[in-house]
Each structure stands twice: as structure tokens, then as C-alpha cells.
């Protein structure tokens, strides 16, 4: 499930039975149906012309599978378990209450679907590689920096690894591991594979909508969950909702796919600023005092304003720095050129080098069992490289 250019065909019989079952639970479905979409499993398509503002799906809140719908004797067994953990324990268990979701469960992703798309389940050969440098061999990440743990291969960053916090994947793994340990103490027989089918709340039928960076309107209260058309749709067209304003790195770690076109996409560039800016106490304090410490990002349009401030902290004297922060800068071409030079060489060239290296290393991965995973990762690195190269045009006259 890796792209947003899929084509639709009718869903298999499981989905017909699930649609009928959803109707029996009180779910109203209007003008849309489940369909199989290449590269993203199932999805929802328009059955007929749909007008903007039409209600497409209405799900009674009482039919959602949430913490509240779990058996009391399951919940009472656990303290400090996340909702994800509780739901996963229920789905992995043999509680008789599970039987009522039989038609729904037949449409859930298989363990193999998870193995293919969720980085948490990818083998080490796709996560880490050894990088040889004059002074030795380093284990570095093949995952994009936002996802991995700061294990960059670039020489300017190797010595600052410790300063880089855990990436999105590591944070997810820490949470997962903590929940799993709690669950295994209480239910020692639980299988890891079934437990991994993780969730927060499950919403019958509406969960079939795939994500786009802009989608239908979703409203939710104590009574119902409704999806309303944000624009007109033609028959056969896929109808999306938005899971949130997420970057592709986040979508990859949490949902197992990246969008081809994502207006919310960015990459964090904190790490690349560590050697020159963030590793120096006085610079950190200076930025902290004005509220500009951390959260530095890059999009195809260039670095964010916070990054510009961080770099000005390095190249301007205190007086000019304060003026810059307050938007009263005395524009000086030399300062601008110095900042551009810093961005082009210290941020973008470093990141571009990392992307090229990771792509080369990924090309060499020839394990036949992980070609889908490799494809997703290469796609993400190519996106990152393109983002860097487009941004670079703003700061240098020659291409990277
Ligand atoms: C809520 S489900 C949507 C229904 C799902 N496609 C299915 O077959 O059951 C979310 C999952 O669908 C897939 N997905 C959603 N939007 C996608 C997209 N734009 N491109 C690729 N996969 C997508 C991802 O695997 C994601 O974890």
C-alpha cells in the first residue's frame, strides 16, 4: 500500500458481506461503495455523481470499537496500558465478544500486509548499514533521518549522534515494547503477531477511506461519525478523507505508506544544525531566550523561518540578531549571502549526500523477500532528495 495513483475495481465478497453487516449495525452508506484500489488495499469510490456537501457515510458512535466497547474483565487486568495496547490485546485474544465482529475482521489487513508496509516490522538489513570511512566502520541508518535515530553516515554528523533524539520509529517502538511487556505479564500466551494489529478506535465502514492531504469533511460526536463530500465526485472516483496534516515520514511510520503529492510534507533539519549551532551552549541559550530553539524544518520551498533565525544567531552580532528576530533587520546582502551559503552547504549538501548514499545502499539490497519494503523506502528517499534539490535553487546559483 504505497502510492496515491491507484486504480479501482469492485471489492471482493468479504466486503459485500461487511457492507451488509455494517448496514445491520445502523451504518448509513450513500452513493459510495468499497472497492479494491491497486497499491492501497481497499478504499471507497463514488457509485454515482456526488454533489459537494452530501453525507456519504454515517456511523452510530455506539458501533465504534473503542476502549469503552472492550470487555470489563479485559480492561480490569491492565493498568497503564495505552488504548492501542488495550485494543490490540482484545483483537489478539479469544474473548467470545470478538465473534460479533466476524464480517468486519475478514476485511482487516493480514500479518503480511503489516510486514510489507510498517517500518517497525522491517528487517535490520533495511534499517541499518555499515558505512566505511577512513577512520573506521559505522553503523548508520538507511531510514530517513526523521524516522531513524540520528545515525547519519555523513562525516560532519557522525560525532554528534548522541545529541540527536529518537526518531519517529524509535518512539513508536518504545511505546509498543512497553505495552507488550505489560500485556505479556498478564496474558503470557498472547501471540506477538496478532498483538501487532494495532489501533486506537475502529470505525466500521468509515475505516475503509484512504488518506489524501485534502479530503472529505469528517465530524464526530457522542451520537455519530459522519463523512461529508468536500467537493463533487464522479462515478468510480476514489473518495478520500484526511488523517491529518502529516508529513510522509509520519505517514510511513504510523500508517505504512507515503503520498506522491503531499502539501504537508517536510523533513526536520535539526540534526544538520547541531555541529555549528546547537552543540554550542551560548548559541542554544541565545535561541532559547528568543523562543527559537528547536523545530527546524525544510520543505521544497526552503528552510523555515526558525532555521533562518538559528543561522542569524551564528552570523550576526547580538544587536543585529535581535533586530532580525523582531523583523527590523537592516538588510545586508553580505549577511544574506552568508546565510544562503550556510544553508546550501551545511544543511542541503549534507542531506543530499545522505540521500544519495542511502539510495545507493538500498539499490544493493537484493533480498528477494523485501522488495516491496525496499521500493517504499527508495520512494521516500527520492522524495527527500527532490525536496532538497528544489529547495537548493533558492540559495545557490549552481545546482547541488
Ligand atoms: C483506515 S485504513 C484504509 C483502508 C485500507 N486501505 C484497507 O485496505 O483496509 C488505513 C490504511 O490504508 C492504507 N492507505 C490509506 N491511505 C493510503 C494512500 N493514500 N496510499 C496508500 N495506502 C493508503 C494504509 O495501509 C493505511 O494504514
Q: Which atom of ligand 1 is nearest to the CA of 107?
A: 9
The reported pLDDT for the residue numbered 229 is: 98
Report how far ligand 1's centroid is from the alpha carbon of 333 (Å).
48
Say how many Å lie between the CA of residue 41 and the centre of ligand 1: 7
> In the chain, which residues fall in CATH 2.170.270.10?
1-64+203-261
Query: Burial code of 249-282, b = ≥16 C-beta within 10 A, e = fewer?
Result: bbbbbbebbbbeebebbbbbbbbbbbbbbbeeee
DSSP 398: S
Helix (H), strand (E) at residue 371: helix 371-392
Mutate-to-test residue for ligand 1 from 248, 257, 265, highest number of ligand atoms within 8 A of CB: 257
Q: Residue 377: which of 40, 130, 148, 86 has the closest Cα?
A: 148
| pLDDT of amino acid 48 | 98
pLDDT at 24: 97
pLDDT bin (cut points 50, 70, 90) of residue 118 is very high
* Mean pLDDT calculated for residue range 256-283: 96
Output 183 or 318, whichever has higher pLDDT. 318
In whole angstroms, give the CA distance from residue 269 to residue 292.
Answer: 14
pLDDT of residue 2: 45
Q: 62 C-alpha to center of ligand 1: Å? A: 24
- The model's confidence at residue 94, banded by pLDDT at 50, 70 and 90, is confident
Answer whether residue 278 shows pLDDT above 90: yes
Q: Which atom of ligand 1 is nearest to the CA of 109?
A: 9
- Say yes or no to pLDDT of 193 above 80: no
CA distances from residue 390 to 111, 245, 261 in whole angstroms, order as listed: 38, 22, 15
Residue nearest to atom 24 of ligand 1 (CA): 255
Cβ(338)–Cβ(324) below 8 Å: no
Identify the residue whose cell numbers are 445491520: 24
Q: Is the pLDDT of residue 3 over 50?
A: no
Give 133-168 as a DSSP string.
Answer: ETTEEEEEESS-TTTS-S---SHHHHTTGGGS---H
359-400 confidence digits (pLDDT tens): 999 999 999 999 999 999 999 999 999 999 999 999 999 998
| pLDDT cut 70: percent of the chain above it | 95
Q: What is the pLDDT of residue 199?
A: 54
| Dihedral pair phi/psi, residue 345, rounded to 5° | -90, -45
> What is the band of 150 on the pLDDT scale with cuts at 50, 70, 90?
confident
The model's pLDDT over 5-55, given as tens digits with 9 standing for 90+, comes to 566 666 678 999 999 999 999 999 999 999 999 889 999 999 999 999 999
Ligand 1 atom closest to the CA of 208, numbered from 1: 4
Distance 193 CA to ligand 1 centre (A): 20
Mean pLDDT across the stretch 79-84? 81
Task: Over range 86-110, report the average pLDDT.
Answer: 90
To test the pocket of ligand 1, the residue of 36, 41, 214, 246 to mutate (highest count of ligand atoms within 8 Å of its CB) is 41
CB atoms within 10 A of CB 183: 22
**Is 352 touching ligand 1 by the criterion CB < 6 Å?**
no
d(CA 157, CA 141): 12
Q: Is the CB of 117 under 6 A from ligand 1?
A: yes
DSSP assignment of 235-290 = TT-EEEE---S--HHHHHHHHS---SS-TT--EE-HHHHIIIIITSHHHHHHHHHT
Does any ligand 1 atom lie closer than 6 A to the CB of residue 207? yes
ipTM tops 0.85: yes
291: left (phi over 0), alpha (psi -120 to 50) or beta: left
Tell me the average pLDDT across 200-208: 91
CATH class of 1-64+203-261: mainly beta
Mean per-residue pLDDT for 149-159? 83
Amino acid at each position: 500500500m504505497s502510492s496515491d495513483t491507484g486504480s479501482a475495481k469492485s471489492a471482493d465478497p468479504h466486503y459485500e458481506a461487511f457492507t451488509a453487516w455494517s448496514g445491520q449495525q445502523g451504518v448509513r452508506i450513500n452513493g459510495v461503495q468499497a472497492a479494491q484500489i491497486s497499491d492501497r488495499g481497499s478504499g471507497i469510490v463514488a457509485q454515482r455523481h456526488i454533489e459537494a456537501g452530501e453525507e456519504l457515510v454515517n456511523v452510530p458512535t455506539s458501533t465504534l470499537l473503542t476502549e469503552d466497547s472492550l470487555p470489563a474483565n479485559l480492561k480490569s487486568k491492565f493498568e497503564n496500558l495505552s488504548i492501542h495496547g488495550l485494543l490490540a490485546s482484545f483483537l489478539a485474544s479469544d474473548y467470545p465478544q470478538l465473534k460479533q465482529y466476524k464480517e468486519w475482521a475478514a476485511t482487516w489487513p493480514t500479518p503480511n500486509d503489516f510486514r510489507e508496509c510498517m517500518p517497525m516490522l522491517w528487517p535490520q538489513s533495511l534499517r541499518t548499514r555499515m558505512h566505511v570511512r577512513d577512520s573506521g566502520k559505522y553503523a548508520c541508518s538507511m531510514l530517513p533521518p526523521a524516522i531513524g535515530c540520528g545515525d547519519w553516515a555523513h562525516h560532519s554528523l557522525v560525532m554528534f549522534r548522541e545529541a540527536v533524539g529518537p526518531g519517529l520509529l524509535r518512539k513508536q517502538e518504545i511505546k509498543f515494547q512497553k505495552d507488550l511487556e505489560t500485556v505479556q505479564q498478564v496474558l503470557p500466551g498472547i501471540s506477538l503477531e496478532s498483538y501487532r494489529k494495532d489501533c486506537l478506535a475502529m470505525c466500521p465502514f468509515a475505516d475503509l477511506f484512504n488518506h489524501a492531504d485534502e479530503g472529505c469533511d469528517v465530524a464526530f460526536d457522542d451520537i455519530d461519525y459522519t463523512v461529508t463530500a468536500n467537493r463533487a465526485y464522479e462515478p468510480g472516483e476514489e473518495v478520500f478523507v484526511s488523517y491529518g496534516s502529516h508529513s510522509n515520514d509520519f505517514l510511513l511510520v504510523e500508517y505504512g505508506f507515503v503520498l506522491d503529492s503531499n502539501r504537508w510534507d517536510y523533513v526536520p533539519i535539526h540534526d544538520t544544525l547541531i555541529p555549528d549551532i546547537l552543540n554550542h551552549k551560548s548559541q542554544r541559550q541565545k535561541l532559547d531566550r528568543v523562543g527559537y530553539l528547536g523545530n527546524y524544518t525544510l520543505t521544497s520551498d526552503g528552510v523555515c523561518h526558525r532555521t533562518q533565525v538559528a543561522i542569524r544567531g551564528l552570523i550576526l552580532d547580538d544587536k543585529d540578531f535581535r533586530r532580525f528576530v523582531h523583523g527590523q533587520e537592516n538588510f545586508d546582502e553580505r549577511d544574506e549571502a552568508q546565510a544562503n551559503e550556510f544553508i546550501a552547504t551545511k544543511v542541503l549538501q549534507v542531506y543530499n549526500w545522505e540521500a544519495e548514499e542511502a539510495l545507493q545502499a538500498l539499490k544493493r539490497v537484493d533480498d528477494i523477500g523485501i522488495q516491496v519494503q525496499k521500493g517504499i523506502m527508495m520512494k521516500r528517499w527520492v522524495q527527500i532528495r527532490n525536496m532538497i534539490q528544489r529547495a537548493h535553487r533558492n540559495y545557490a546559483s549552481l545546482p547541488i
